[in-house]
């Protein structure tokens, strides 16, 4: 009996791990999608209908028809609604490029998984050592100079 439980438990854990591993990445999947289909009109300079999709934090904010992205609720997310016929169709026909059903499914899966922002994990690490200041003596009667040394020197 306990071996059956152990096997079932391992199966559940393995399925959960596989599910998490399959979650779309903002950096790898969503950001390129948004750059291709959305940013021409929904950016910091031109946030049509109040939507700026330059970052995940901005996508979560409300625009004219609600939040662009509602974590765990693709059916409430304006970005999905407009691509699937639940509102004004986006991107507009005049742009010619339309997302495929598979691309839209990836966006839905990312939102369903919580719309996590993994962009910070791709950023270079922040150096914690501040630059050092050193005073170099003046030469030939010149005043001393302040020299900035890079971290770790």
Closest Cα partner for 34 from 83, 67, 75? Answer: 83
Neighbours of 91 (CB within 10 A): 18
Residue 134's pLDDT is 75
With beta carbons less than 8 A apart as the criterion, state whether 131 and 148 touch. yes
Cis previous bond, 152, omega within 30: no
Query: In the structure, what pLDDT confidence band is assigned to residue 79 with cuts at 50, 70 and 90?
Result: very high
Answering whether pTM is above 0.85, one says no
Q: What is the pLDDT of residues 117-130, one digit of tens each?
A: 999 765 555 556 66
CA distance 80 to 99: 11
């Amino acid at each position: 009996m306990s071996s059956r439980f152990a096997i079932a438990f391992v199966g559940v854990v393995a399925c959960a791990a596989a599910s998490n591993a399959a979650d779309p990445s903002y950096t790898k999947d969503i950001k390129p999608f948004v750059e291709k289909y959305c940013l021409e009109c929904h950016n910091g300079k031109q946030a049509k209908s109040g939507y700026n999709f330059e970052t995940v934090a901005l996508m979560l904010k409300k625009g004219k028809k609600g939040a662009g992205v509602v974590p765990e609720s693709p059916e409430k997310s304006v970005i999905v609604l407009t691509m699937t016929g639940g509102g004004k169709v986006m991107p507009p026909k005049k742009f010619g490029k339309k997302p495929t059903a598979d691309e839209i499914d990836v966006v839905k899966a990312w939102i369903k998984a919580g719309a996590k922002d993994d962009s910070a994990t791709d950023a270079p690490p922040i150096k914690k050592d501040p630059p050092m200041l050193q005073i170099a003596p003046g030469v030939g009667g010149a005043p001393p100079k302040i020299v900035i040394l890079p971290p770790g020197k």
